[in-house]
Structure 1
């Protein structure tokens, strides 16, 4: 086989990007009456008895496409290939000590191709491990890379959950996915791709004040709710995030997690003058992303190693 590169470093990626709001179509079967009857839906302020936990850990991941190219097989057919770096980690915020520290940082590199006999490339920290792609199409290489990142985030989440006390909160940037068995864990969704509510309930979301949340609803094996973070007034969906937890907990426990998130997450909201993705891109997550991107390595050195590997 012959390997050749034709483009370099087309940028960093993350699990989500900010949008104005969800599509108008309602997604799937939703139980909107977990906490309140439909006619009683209104914005909820968490009770004064609920206070933020002393320790909150955040999990996130980043990826970088280092090079795209082609693998030519013995028959002369060219197949797309992607060399990429990706990382996942955990930042632990301790309010008692006033410190935030990265407690886990995992870095991997992948060479994605649909060819079954493709081999790994490079050596040492610049080694790209061969992974079989689901289809021989460039877009599927990106999707498969995202799956590898999710798996690495899952590993980081489990490491964080294993060392956490019962009172700590674990916030996963993005959907929970396979992490539904972790206790005191919520998924934090910054981008609202889908609409889960009826029009009357959507109006509760778009009109609720800062620090308030919606009643808890359920769908697809999850409890979920929306809350509004502090930030400048803008579109009806400005500052709106969706939070989810597993339905393996009792409804009362999900409601407590909803209140806990409403008193905790606004305190970590970013500011527009520091982060263009404010307020949804929480300060600890933004800091973790910067740290992980640094750990991915110098793209120029990685490109040099990739060039050398095909000489």
Structure 2
């Protein structure tokens, strides 16, 4: 028995690798030859790359009791989304774009709340305004899930705002986008037709199967697998109503060699893009993005001595996370403002 190390730090929510088999169908669309495909480098036509990410935060949990004595859940929360714009050819410095913080008062749908405006003692420190958003049910994770959902929606809107249009029809010319967006996590439901690539840092779902996954260990730096297609929500004969209509292209890229003490899939990242419904072909623009992805991600991958989640936690993402944390403010000070507000409103006995 050989023992290998999962490279991600133990204090993260889960490891980098679990590989639960995908229950649905996965189709070959680029080639029937299951082999490594080398990167073709970054073409001059690609002028801008933006890395989009978001960061949620829960700031205070609330319990509300109504006139009938029933308890309801609510919470003060915040999230921020933003992007880092960079030149893939290194001709200019990277810059922050669209960093936007929002504060949310998430509450159970049967306990309506008004917006909360938290005024400071010192007028120079600014007002905290929490916009109410309802969630269904009374689950303890309801407020957190609502903040997360709002953040993902804003991430998608920001990605769509920046990304070039993406021709996805079979007869479209080879039109590589001039602006490409890398979005942390899978691409969101809906809003296809834009040059948005979801990059998935963890390998929790196995889309390849035992007869194909071995290629991932053999990939050299910058190489990728052929492009595959699958349907989101496919459970092997049962497709969820909300997700089953969505198609995805996906492929794997190696960012760097795995150290000898880590599992052989360390350094691998999965990418995905929207696909036309039941397409048996790969649009030329999508193939062009896949061909440059290895060279691009090698440049953006972080180093282990600087980031414990290297190389999948991209260098621009780490810089963006610091900016997003600053935009939400110090959590201890915010929590103090919330306590003061509740006392002033006379809602604390």
TM-score, normalising length: structure 1: 0.86
Give distance in 2, aligned partners of 1:125 and 1:279: 39
Specify which of 297, 311, 336 is matched with residue 304 of structure 1.
336
Specify which of 136, 145, 168 is matched with residue 134 of structure 1.
136
- In structure 2, the partner of 1:101 is 95
Q: How many Å apart are 1:286 and its aligned residue?
A: 1.0
- In structure 2, the partner of 1:218 is 229
**1:29–1:219 CA contact under 8 A, matched in 2:** yes
**2:165–2:177 CA contact under 8 A, matched in 1:** no
**2:183–2:196 CA contact under 8 A, matched in 1:** yes
For residues 163 and 224 of structure 1, do their structure 2 counterparts lie closer, same or farther at Cα, with a shift above 3 Å needed? closer
**2:21–2:206 CA contact under 8 A, matched in 1:** yes
Q: How many Å apart are 1:235 and its aligned residue?
A: 0.8
Give distance in 2, aligned partners of 1:262 and 1:49: 9
Residues 186-236 of structure 1 show CA distances to partners (whole Å, capped at 9, x for unaligned) of 111112221111212111123322211111000121111011112542212
Q: How many Å apart are 1:155 and its aligned residue?
A: 2.1
Structure 1, gaps ≥5 residues long: 1-15
Q: How many Å apart are 1:243 and its aligned residue?
A: 0.4
- In structure 2, the partner of 1:184 is 195
Give distance in 2, aligned partners of 1:229 and 1:146: 28
- The 5 A counterparts of 1:25-104 are 25-31=21-27, 33-37=28-32, 40-47=33-40, 53-94=46-87, 95-104=89-98
Structure 2, gaps ≥5 residues long: 1-11, 119-125, 167-175, 232-246, 344-349
Q: How many Å apart are 1:65 and its aligned residue?
A: 1.0
**1:47–1:259 CA contact under 8 A, matched in 2:** yes
- In structure 1, the partner of 2:310 is 278
Q: How many Å apart are 1:253 and its aligned residue?
A: 2.9
* Count of aligned pairs: 293
Give the match's secondary structure for 1:205. helix
**1:217–1:225 CA contact under 8 A, matched in 2:** yes
Which of these two proteins has the greater Rg computed from alpha carbons? 2
Give distance in 2, aligned partners of 1:98 and 1:156: 22
Residues 118-158 of structure 1 show CA distances to partners (whole Å, capped at 9, x for unaligned) of 22222464111111112211122222221111011122212
CA-based RMSD: 2.4
TM-score, normalising length: structure 2: 0.77
**2:164–2:194 CA contact under 8 A, matched in 1:** no
Give the match's secondary structure for 2:23. coil
| Segment of structure 1 superposing worse, 115-124 or 145-154 | 115-124
**2:106–2:143 CA contact under 8 A, matched in 1:** yes
For residues 144 and 48 of structure 1, do their structure 2 counterparts lie closer, same or farther at Cα, with a shift above 3 Å needed? closer
Give distance in 1, aligned partners of 2:160 and 2:42: 30
Residues 249-290 of structure 1 show CA distances to partners (whole Å, capped at 9, x for unaligned) of 960332221111112111100011111111100000111111
